[in-house]
Amino acid sequence: MTKETTPKEDERKRILKIAEVNPGLQYELSKAPGAEKLMQCLQCGTCTADCPIARFSGSYSPRLIIRMAQLGLISKVLSSDTIWLCAACFTCTDRCPQDLELASVLRVLRNMAVKKGFIPEALREMGSNVVETGSVYKVPGSRIRKREAAGLPPLPKSNPRRLAKLAEIVGFPKLIEKRGM
């Protein structure tokens, strides 16, 4: 009797993956504005071929992300760092022969991840700066003085009350609140 190398282990892994597949999810996803053509992807790989991030990353592949979205295997994708690597350079969007707005699909996935509480810290900070000051950066006093010295007009002010009100209406503060993750 030949010794078999634990096929049960592999089988379990495979079965798990299949149970995770949720083909219905792509219909839900394609309702989100920007991801309408998600199901039209035929996995040709054009997006990944010239993606500046994919070329230097070795593990990042927009095509793979779309495939996982099509199969509904996105729970791992949403909690990973991968979707935050997209530089939104729109090279994929320009090149896709099926006219999928890939950068938009990635944005939809990022929006979903944020709703689940996954958000890079740097981004969270930028979000809270905008609501407070109107700008993603808190411009330090030294720069303000530099502007004056250079004879530039003062920076236009923001309207924090208006920003806070609108942010509240679209549910923004909840998305960027610090959670104990």
Q: Which is nearer to other proteins, 1 or 149 (CB)?
A: 149
State the DSSP string of 64-76.
Answer: HHHHHHHHT-HHH
Tokens of residue 90, six digits: 């729109």
Minimum CB separation from other proteins for residue 17, in Å? 16
Between CA 139 and CA 143 the distance in angstroms is: 7
| Helices H / strands E in the chain, number of each | 12, 0
> Contact 30/36 with Cβ under 8 angstroms?
yes
Contact status, residue 120 vs residue 84, Cβ threshold 8 Å: yes
Q: How far is the CB of 131 from other proteins (least distance, A)?
A: 9
Q: From the CB of 2, what's the least distance to other proteins, in Å?
A: 30
Q: Which two tokens stand for residue 162?
A: 């208006």
CB of residue 19 vs other proteins: minimum separation in angstroms? Answer: 23
Q: Which is nearer to other proteins, 27 or 90 (CB)?
A: 90
| Residue where the block lists tokens 């997209």 | 86
Q: Among residues 25 and 163, whose Cβ is nearest to other proteins?
A: 163
User: What minimum distance in Å lies between the beta carbon of 110 and other proteins?
Assistant: 4
Q: Report the Cα–Cα distance between both ends of the chain, in Å, rounded.
A: 50
Rank residues 26 and 61 by Cβ distance to other proteins and give the closer one. Answer: 61
Instruction: Closer to other proteins by CB, 72 or 172: give it.
Output: 172
